[in-house]
Structure 1
């Protein structure tokens, strides 16, 4: 028969062992909860910082963004919109009309070479070749000979001569590709860039 003192000691030992295991389980659970809380706090702190970094990069990228072409007149105001024909042989408006007085300066929308200056079907025309694109202006006249190199923003001609629709209050600007496909000049002169807005920290 088991001694009562021994039995009591055994019960106390088992009780202490059970308490120790429960304490260890509670400690492990608290450690897990603490780790989860710490991870959540790190995520809350990290997200605004990353957003600020993204916003700074976006601003820097936006500052470096540049339209493929510049407006050829100061304070450009479109008075005649681009309206391409459904078929190449149909009538249409293959460019835009910009408000400018007769005698106003024309500025090169991009680096290029004077490809032509003269009269076409009674219209005074100046053409600039910018690599894969070509700009045409009328009414326009220039003293620069064909082959002259000009830089973006350089004064290359004046609004002068004859035009079939602009008269004395505007200049027609057309842009076409090498395969004679006309583009909307406004789309070439405007800066178009999508920038994601940063998350606002609350």
Structure 2
């Protein structure tokens, strides 16, 4: 009878773990579905970005992010591929010289610093987004906090992206989807569009 009880307890434990895993997936799916519905509803009811005369709005408004190279100029714009696996330019190239200081576009945490395919890359996580810089190196450890506008590293290391004349900045969301970093450099305020 004792062996049967052990088997029964083991089956119940397996069932409980499967149930907890399913419940966790359901919660995650519900969160994703809710986020998608909010974005879709916002689009449907005409919520838009108001960028004109933003500085004169109540309380003013500022860009969500700052350029990672102070005084830098965007040389090559974002060119989103039709599908995530197709060719495209998944970020912007900012003119910079070897050794230029890179600053954090937004508050975040260093999530990667090293080589990817022989290229020197630094990544920071900001909320649900991963911001990547190439070529870039940092003396900060993975897990270190970075603050908007404060140094995170330098444009240095190896890259075949633009022959040492620029740093590539990309912003990746979930499911390998990239967004245009330049969008987050403009002052924005969410308003209802009539």
TM-score bracket for the superposition, by shorter chain length: 0.5 to 0.7
Asked whether the equivalents of residues 55 and 61 of structure 2 are also in contact (C-alpha less than 8 Å), the reply is no
Partner of 2:150: 154
Residues 1-202 of structure 1 aligned to structure 2 (within 5 Å):
60-61=56-57, 64-193=60-189
Q: Which has the higher strand share?
A: 2
CA gap of 1:118–1:75, structure 2 versus 1, over 3 A, is: same
What CA distance in whole angstroms lies between the structure 2 residues aligned with 1:166 and 1:62? 42
Q: Highest relative contact order (Cα 8 Å, sep 6+), 1 or 2?
A: 2
The offset of 1:59, in angstroms, is: 5.4
Aligned-pair CA distance for 1:62: 6.2
TM-score, length-scaled by structure 1: 0.64
TM-score of the two chains, using structure 2 as the length reference: 0.67
Structure 2 gaps, min length 5: 1-53
Change (3 A) 1:179 1:194: closer
Aligned residue pairs: how many?
139
Question: What SS does the corresponding residue of 1:179 show, helix, strand or coil?
Answer: helix
1:59–1:95 distance in 2 versus 1, CA, 3 Å: closer
CA RMSD of aligned residues (A): 2.1
Rounded to whole Å, the distance in 2 between the matches of 1:107 and 1:67 is 15
Partner of 2:176, secondary structure, is coil
Structure with higher Rg: it is 1
Structure 2: how far apart are the matches of 1:80 and 1:172? 9
